Structure 1
Amino acid sequence: MKIKIITALTIVFLAGCTRLDQTFYDRVTPETFFKSEKDIKAALYRPFTHARWYLGADRWKLQEYTADHFAITTKGRHWYNGGENERYHYHSWTPDDNWIWETWRGTLMGVALALDAKSDLSKLDYSKFALTQADKDDHVNQLNTLIALFYLYGLDYFGGLPIFESLEGSSLPRNTDQETFNHIETLLKEAILKLPKKQAADKEEGALRAAAAAALLARLYFNAEAYVGTPKFTEAQKLCEDIIAGVYGTYLLDPVWNGVHGFKNHESKEIIWSIPSEFNKLQYDWFYADFYHYNTRQYFDVDGGANNGGHLQPSRKPTGELYKASFRLGSPYEKFNDADLRKHPYKYNGGGRYEGMFIIGPHLTPGGAVINGGEEYKDKPLVFVDQVGRFTEVGPGKKYATVAVLPSRMADGEENTGVRLVKVPIPNKSDNSLRWGADNPAIRLSEIYFMLAECKMRAADPGGAATLINEVRKRNFTGTDPDPATVANLDEYRMLDEWGIEFLGEGRRRTDLIRFKKFTTETWWDHQPTEAYRSRFPVPTRAISGNNNLKQNTGYGK
């Protein structure tokens, strides 16, 4: 079998499945091409670099900007973007929208890259490289787990996908939802048996171990009702119980709230799988440009600006009144208790130490100097508000007489609109070597606690569920938790709030709303219920135009 040399530039998925532009070299085989262990690792790592990209950017946007926590409002002359941001917020996206195309393409590209590496490594005699059969099994099953991960995300976004196990086919049709589900399940069950279990002394450096495969299988079962119409919470519960019990390796909840997000989070015993990040290498930084104001560089005391796009959806009306009386979802900032350590404004304290994870209120430099705006608040102090409205257009002789009549819609943002999330810490210039030193915690033990809690809640054990939630919550307070989960308050909305508080901005909100059947049925800020078929995205026009065998999802036309 000849080796396929695949790069991001030569992979072409216009056919929506496995059609690739491939370069072949005569008389080159895996056995002769791989010269050392370094070559093996290079082949193994390539699909992981794709996963680094895949777990952010457009996949994150489809999860968060379509749900009740984040928005990209139009801010004066900025960010209308041809109505794209509004289409996602209002659930009126089309098969031509680019985030959807990039996600379809990126999903199947990830499968292909992992399959290609698996094909080549499977043919090698590892003993020739001073490696063992156990090393080979580990590498192959890491790739199997990665394939399952891409298919799992694809199933979540689109439903059934073309299933391929080699790179020889082209123009494949979509398999059914159930067939895709079964394929993921088979891959993960095999990987769980063959991947090594984490030992207490093992470092977290991006390798997929047995617990990661078990966690992904738990996710599959946890959301099975949305995927294939059959609840599998009992199966998810058993996996979560085993992970917590250490059946798949040694993991512990981090004792501090930012241990899983900070500069040394590779040392956290809570992380089950992370994507490593290192300054000027494979950086976990895609969000920086979109989340922060042009002048926030002065707040962080760093070089390099941002484009002032996304922010939290507002918790308050222009009048200052809380929205909680109007709808149960959304209002993410005010869902945090005032005593929660995370609710503090973000402040870098030097030496890798920091506090808080929000930008709100007056924007000041670390030295206390006022930071001015450049648009509506040009030469005026920037004050970030948990509201959306054109406040500069209120007053005598202006468009709006009072804030009482000020509309709050996607079209009504200003440059200071919305609370900004700083979940990944930003050091100042004096500690610039730490920048992007925080890894992306893709799977962490607190997710397993929350999955188990929800399973127990659904199984009529709210006391057991509350205990698990509170075990995670307690690290967020200096004293006693003032608002713990209890049997009395733990309903589906409180459970969704707990997911939202703990995992704010971690690219999962849409999936959680769908599991509770609230993604298309509920109201949140500037959003009304939409058609049930919007729980899945359409197959992109560009994919179908290259592959007539692909069928469109229900509701999106032919």
Structure 2
Amino acid sequence: MKIKIITALMIVLLAGCTNLDQKFYDRVTPETFFKSEKDIKAALYRPFTHARWYLGGDRWKLQEYTADQFAITTKGRHWYNGGENERYHYHRWTAEDNWIWETWRGTLMGVALALDAKSDLSKLDYSKFALTQADKDDHVNQLNTLIALFYLYGLDYFGGLPIFEALEGSSLPRNTDQETFNHIEKLLKEAITKLPKKQAADKEEEGAFRAAGAAALLARLYFNAEAYIGTKKFAEAQKLCEDIIAGVYGPYSLDPVWNGVHGFKNNLSPEIIWNIPSEFNKLQYDWFYADFYHYNTRQYFNVDGGANNGAHLQPSRTPAGALYKTSFKLGSPYEKFNDADLRKHPYKYTGGGNYEGMFIIGPHLTPEGDIIRGGEEYNNQALIFVDQVGRFSEVGPGKKYASVAELPSRMSEGEENTGVRLVKVPIPNRTDNNLRWGADNPAIRLSEIYLMLAECKMRASDPGGAATLINDVRKRNFVGGADPDPVTAANLDDYRMLDEWGIEFLGEGRRRTDLIRFKKFTTDTWWDHQASESFRSRFPVPTRAISGNNNLEQNPGYGK
């Protein structure tokens, strides 16, 4: 089996992810390889470890750096990266760009790994391992759900994909958007009926797919169906969301506190529908750390390990301090949070696994209150993070700019202190270092179902019902549930709905999809970004994939 997996992986890597012929170099078969339940679990878990990688990194980048909430500005001598970050921000990417290749490759590699495990487990007599047919159905349909997840993300990024249901075949062409949609739908519908339901509200989540997880993915498929296949399926999405909330697939409820779904014990949150476990020095939910934080932010967190000082929120203010949201409706992510929102507080670890806030903004100080100093534009000066983009260090007598009013604000004009930094995954200090990366990745949570249902109701001319659902999610973010700016039937429109998605799911790798669903991804403007060509709603098939398989057709707009 090990040889088989390695062979499949090498084929996926070297042949554009669609040449799936296998060569067997020994006589190991599933029936002879598996000796215990431990071996079965190892095979089951392998594609889930791929999913842990897949839901971060380049997939996250394609969702967030192409949209209106995050950016990697050039900061002096750092982060120009051959113009890569600007290409994504300005919607000028090409079929040669690496994030796109890694996402294509990773999508179909995930399918191949899950199919490989499914093939092996399907051949086993589970009774020989003191396991039941129900256990086998559970394992096989968890893998079906995982296959559907990879195809769903791939459909979202690229449109139709090569559909394969076994690891035999050579240079498969792309299936149509509709065929890919139908394949995902079929897998999830079957999984919903065969996966067990959550049995107890206080049951700890350990990364296994349950019926609600498959139902949530099917709801996502229907929710975005118009973008995928040109047909609206909001009514189908609404029914699934109503059933999930009503407990048809098990007892789930909104977490009563804002950080319950993100904290160190979020595996116990009643809101989690599917998580990806994380544990210090094992499979860690930590990919973002290096890019998000300043080199010296380790002093702020009081931890070992520096970062690269790349990503930040797009600015809410001009260099002169005026709010951008008076000029355009998208973007300005930090200022979209109400000042009374508990999440808007600066991040501070208070000990014992407790923390407050989720942003780094203003003077950068150690936990003891000492000044943290810069090392680039503000070398040996106090580091102060600003919700602006501009070369403030170049303003003054004898410098490039006479006043702040002259400063341009664009992707090329960052500094080391540019932009608010997000701390959505809590980071403890050295004293509690055993908690580090103890927060799981909450990949599907009930608040998403609430907002999906709210948007479906809004689209079905029930803004009052939509507002109630949104406010159910919002109220935990304010002291005593006193929300100073609740959603109402009168103030709910497309932009307010997008604001609510952006606030609740800031940094969770979905923003591009939400903008596309509202037809604003290529038509609207936001900070340093103008409308782009409509074909940019999908990414190109990577040149490297087509080079390995000339049966692959390129997406419209990207040439041959």
For 1:420-451, what per-residue CA distance to the aligned partner results, in whole angstroms no more than 9, with x for missing partners?
00000000000000000000000000000000
Q: CA deviation at 1:174?
A: 0.2
> Could you tell me whether the CA contact under 8 Å between 1:18 and 1:112 is conserved in 2?
no
> Could you tell me whether the CA contact under 8 Å between 1:215 and 1:448 is conserved in 2?
yes
Instruction: Give the aligned partner of residue 474 of structure 1.
Output: 475
The AA in structure 1 aligned to 2:174 is: R
> Could you tell me whether the CA contact under 8 Å between 1:10 and 1:22 is conserved in 2?
no
Q: 5 Å matches for 1:165-184?
A: 165-184=165-184
Q: Secondary structure at the match of 1:302?
A: coil
> Could you tell me whether the CA contact under 8 Å between 1:317 and 1:323 is conserved in 2?
yes
> CA separation of 1:103/1:2 partners in 2, compared to 1, >3 Å: closer, same or farther?
closer
Instruction: Give the aligned partner of residue 486 of structure 2.
Output: 484
Instruction: Give the aligned partner of residue 518 of structure 1.
Output: 520
Q: Secondary structure at the match of 1:256?
A: coil
Q: Secondary structure at the match of 1:108?
A: helix
Q: Secondary structure at the match of 1:378?
A: coil
Instruction: Give the aligned partner of residue 259 of structure 1.
Output: 260
> CA separation of 1:131/1:259 partners in 2, compared to 1, >3 Å: closer, same or farther?
same
Inter-partner Cα distance in structure 2 for 1:16 and 1:432: 41
> Could you tell me whether the CA contact under 8 Å between 1:2 and 1:24 is conserved in 2?
no
For 1:11-62, what per-residue CA distance to the aligned partner results, in whole angstroms no more than 9, with x for missing partners?
5334333325856343321111100000000000000000000000000000
Instruction: Give the aligned partner of residue 269 of structure 2.
Output: 268
Instruction: Give the aligned partner of residue 132 of structure 1.
Output: 132
Instruction: Give the aligned partner of residue 445 of structure 1.
Output: 446
**Are 1:185 and 2:185 matched, yes or no?**
yes
Inter-partner Cα distance in structure 1 for 2:4 and 2:280: 31
Q: 5 Å matches for 1:199-214?
A: 199-200=199-200, 201-214=202-215
TM-score, normalization: structure 1? 0.99
Instruction: Give the aligned partner of residue 92 of structure 2.
Output: 92
The AA in structure 2 aligned to 1:443 is: I
Instruction: Structure 2 unaligned segments of length 5 or more: list them.
Output: none
For 1:127-181, what per-residue CA distance to the aligned partner results, in whole angstroms no more than 9, with x for missing partners?
0000000000000000000000000000000000000000011100000000000
Q: Secondary structure at the match of 1:410?
A: coil
Q: 5 Å matches for 1:218-257?
A: 218-257=219-258
Inter-partner Cα distance in structure 1 for 2:219 and 2:324: 34
**Are 1:353 and 2:354 matched, yes or no?**
yes
Inter-partner Cα distance in structure 2 for 1:79 and 1:8: 35
Inter-partner Cα distance in structure 2 for 1:168 and 1:205: 32
Q: CA deviation at 1:7?
A: 7.3
> Could you tell me whether the CA contact under 8 Å between 1:254 and 1:260 is conserved in 2?
yes
**Are 1:554 and 2:556 matched, yes or no?**
yes
Aligned Cα RMSD in Å? Answer: 1.2
Instruction: Give the aligned partner of residue 160 of structure 1.
Output: 160
Q: 5 Å matches for 1:148-547?
A: 148-200=148-200, 201-479=202-480, 480-547=482-549
> CA separation of 1:477/1:7 partners in 2, compared to 1, >3 Å: closer, same or farther?
farther
> Could you tell me whether the CA contact under 8 Å between 1:13 and 1:19 is conserved in 2?
no
For 1:470-496, what per-residue CA distance to the aligned partner results, in whole angstroms no more than 9, with x for missing partners?
000000000310000001100000000
Instruction: Give the aligned partner of residue 115 of structure 1.
Output: 115
The AA in structure 2 aligned to 1:436 is: W
For 1:264-313, what per-residue CA distance to the aligned partner results, in whole angstroms no more than 9, with x for missing partners?
00000100000000000000000000000000000000000000000000
Q: Percent identity?
A: 88
Q: 5 Å matches for 1:38-117?
A: 38-117=38-117
For 1:217-276, what per-residue CA distance to the aligned partner results, in whole angstroms no more than 9, with x for missing partners?
000000000000000000000000000000011101000000000000000010000000
> Could you tell me whether the CA contact under 8 Å between 1:5 and 1:22 is conserved in 2?
no
Instruction: Give the aligned partner of residue 4 of structure 1.
Output: 4
Q: CA deviation at 1:10?
A: 3.0
Q: Secondary structure at the match of 2:426?
A: coil
Inter-partner Cα distance in structure 1 for 2:76 and 2:506: 27
> CA separation of 1:503/1:10 partners in 2, compared to 1, >3 Å: closer, same or farther?
same
Instruction: Give the ranges of 4+ consecutive aligned residues of structure 1 lying more than 2 Å apart after TM superposition.
Output: 5-27
Inter-partner Cα distance in structure 1 for 2:433 and 2:130: 39
Inter-partner Cα distance in structure 1 for 2:311 and 2:147: 31
Inter-partner Cα distance in structure 2 for 1:11 and 1:502: 40
Inter-partner Cα distance in structure 1 for 2:469 and 2:204: 26
> CA separation of 1:72/1:134 partners in 2, compared to 1, >3 Å: closer, same or farther?
same
**Count of aligned pairs:** 558
Inter-partner Cα distance in structure 2 for 1:470 and 1:346: 24
Q: Secondary structure at the match of 1:308?
A: coil
TM-score, normalization: structure 2? 0.98
Inter-partner Cα distance in structure 2 for 1:6 and 1:207: 24
Indicate the larger mover: 386-395 or 195-204.
Answer: 195-204
Q: CA deviation at 1:199?
A: 1.1
Inter-partner Cα distance in structure 2 for 1:307 and 1:26: 45
